[in-house]
Amino acid sequence: MEYNTFVLRIESLSYGGRGVGRRSDGKVVFVPTVIPGETVLVSVVKEHPKFVNARMVDVLDPSPLRQAPRCKTFDQCGGCDWQHMPYEYQIKWKQDILLSEIMKIGKIEPEEVQPAVESLYTYAYRRVARLQCAYINGQPVIGFFMKGSHRIVDFLECPVLSGPLQAASTGLRHVLERYPLPYVVSFDMQAPSKDVLISTRLRAARWTMESEKKMYKIFMDLEMVPGMSFTVVGEKRRDYVFGQRYLGYSVDVKGKRLEMVTGFGSFMQANQHVNASMTDHVVSMAEGSKDILDLYCGGGNFSVPLASLGARVTAIDRNARLIAQGKRSARLNNLPNTRFICMDSLRAVRQMVSESMTFNTVILDPPREGARDVSKFIPSLGADKIIYVSCNPTTLGRDLAAIVSQGYSFKGLRLFDMFPHAYHIESVAFLQR
């Protein structure tokens, strides 16, 4: 079937990174890799009842801001959205999208919008990545998924990966050429410092002696690659660990050097420098609080720094591995004033409310789906301050509206650009009773 093509004037950018325009019949059209103000020729990918997904065929009237992407596979790879735009322009649109989504969904706006925290590095910043893996014609293909697809875009170099992760991807490619592993699905990689932790996901349901020998050879070969010190291999029912399970790294908070750990199955922010700025910001807003509740605490990204400054911190997360890492970090820094509890956040707040527990400050850092049900219970915990860390402005707006309706003021909002060249938006909202 031949798709319809038409000329479109791009008016704005949407959350999700695509350009927005209107067809002659008034229907909204979403197109990736365009810039507001451009006139482009597009073809229909899918016609929906209320909008159209399209792809760009040609730029008829390019924006003076359009630039050549640094990545050779940018037009295909789903990792980045905006390499064709200057970084300052990306920040402007992220700020606009963040505010418009909150106002559209939550019907509220902050009393103060603080300047966005830009990334110190716009390339070679990413210290966390998942590389997909497949074998085509007997050769390993390693890369990210194509935009809107599960096809893998192979690459030799990714400009946003940190040096250690780039070396890891190159090393993996070399050893997989030597030791074919057709049952490997993906590699999750973390590089909090110079060393890299690699977690392997398998397609096979069973782990055989042969596969174990091959993975051991891969680990030994990766040790020969600069920066490859540790490898973790995981399977659904069991973990097979070659090397060490944890990696250590240091963070500086308010002049204090803290030792942290990350490990297999953990979550880590992708941008080290922006995360450090965000942690400082959260710590500053919580200053003076004696009792702090940290919901969706992960491995203690905020809990450990807050406890190091003297606060009593109760940290909640349902992921047992993350809780174990948080406890490990607390012990490393001699912080007995931190309690890490493995529990679902909704169950935890319900129990705390039933026991009339109170806190000076509550911190939330939920996943993309937000904290709809948890938000309803937060005001009952008696906190003067609520700090909401979000990676999704849509669910943030919804949840903030629920909290504001129960007697809190939306005092401040700040964007932290964790992902240059991608549409993702990390922000911190501050509410006060």
CB 348 within 8 A of CB 341: yes
Query: Which residue's entry shows tokens 């047992």?
Result: 320
CB 7 within 8 A of CB 91: no
What's the Cα-to-Cα distance from 190 to each of 169, 203, 239, 349, rounded to whole Å?
12, 21, 17, 31
Listed in order, the ranges of the chain carrying CATH 2.40.50.1070 are: 128-247
Residue 95 predicted with pLDDT over 90: yes
Residue 230 predicted with pLDDT over 50: no
- At the topology level, CATH places domain 5-66 in OB fold (Dihydrolipoamide Acetyltransferase, E2P) (2.40.50)
Residue 14: exposure state from Cβ atoms within 10 A (0-12, 13-18, ≥19): middle
- At the topology level, CATH places domain 92-121+271-432 in Rossmann fold (3.40.50)
Residue 206 predicted with pLDDT over 90: no
How does residue 238 score in pLDDT terms, banded at 50, 70 and 90? low
How does residue 200 score in pLDDT terms, banded at 50, 70 and 90? confident
Q: Where are the strands (E) in 191-317, listed by range?
A: 197-202, 231-234, 239-242, 246-253, 256-263, 291-295, 312-317
How does residue 87 score in pLDDT terms, banded at 50, 70 and 90? very high
- 262 or 421: which carries more pLDDT confidence? 421
C-beta neighbour count of 107 within 10 angstroms: 11
Query: Model pTM?
Result: 0.93
pLDDT in tens, 131-143: 999 988 888 899 9
pLDDT in tens, 328-370: 999 999 999 999 999 999 999 999 999 999 999 999 999 999 9
CB 321 within 8 A of CB 264: yes
Residue type, 86: P
Residue type, 41: L
Q: What percentage of residues in the chain have a pLDDT greater than 90?
A: 74
Residue 420: exposure state from Cβ atoms within 10 A (0-12, 13-18, ≥19): buried
How does residue 222 score in pLDDT terms, banded at 50, 70 and 90? low
| DSSP assignment of 162-226 | -HHHHHHHHHHHHHHHHS--TTEEEEEEE-SSSS-EEEEEES-SS--HHHHHHHHHHHHHHTTST
In terms of Cα–Cα distance, which of 279, 273, 305 is closest to 192?
273
Residue type, 64: P
* Token representation of residue 340: 């890490």
pLDDT in tens, 152-199: 999 989 999 999 999 888 888 888 888 787 778 888 889 988 888 888
* Token representation of residue 391: 């990676």
Q: Find the mean pLDDT for residues 384-390.
A: 98
CB 292 within 8 A of CB 313: yes
In terms of Cα–Cα distance, which of 168, 175, 233, 220 is closest to 195?
168
Residue 226: exposure state from Cβ atoms within 10 A (0-12, 13-18, ≥19): exposed
Listed in order, the ranges of the chain carrying CATH 3.40.50.150 are: 92-121+271-432
Measured distance CA(37)–CA(8) in Å, rounded: 10
Q: What is the pLDDT of residue 423?
A: 97
In terms of Cα–Cα distance, which of 103, 196, 168 is closest to 404?
103
Q: Thinking of the domain 128-247, which architecture would CATH place it in? A: Beta Barrel (2.40)
Based on its alpha-carbon atoms, the radius of gyration of the chain, rounded to whole angstroms, reads: 23
Q: Where are the strands (E) in 168-243, listed by range?
A: 184-190, 197-202, 231-234, 239-242
Listed in order, the ranges of the chain carrying CATH 2.40.50.140 are: 5-66
Mean pLDDT of the chain: 90
Residue 243 predicted with pLDDT over 90: no
Q: Is 150 helix (H, G, I), strand (E, B) or coil?
A: coil
Residue 1 predicted with pLDDT over 50: no
Measured distance CA(393)–CA(416) in Å, rounded: 12
Residue type, 315: A
* Token representation of residue 83: 């390499």
pLDDT in tens, 245-295: 788 899 998 888 999 998 877 788 999 999 999 999 999 999 999 999 999
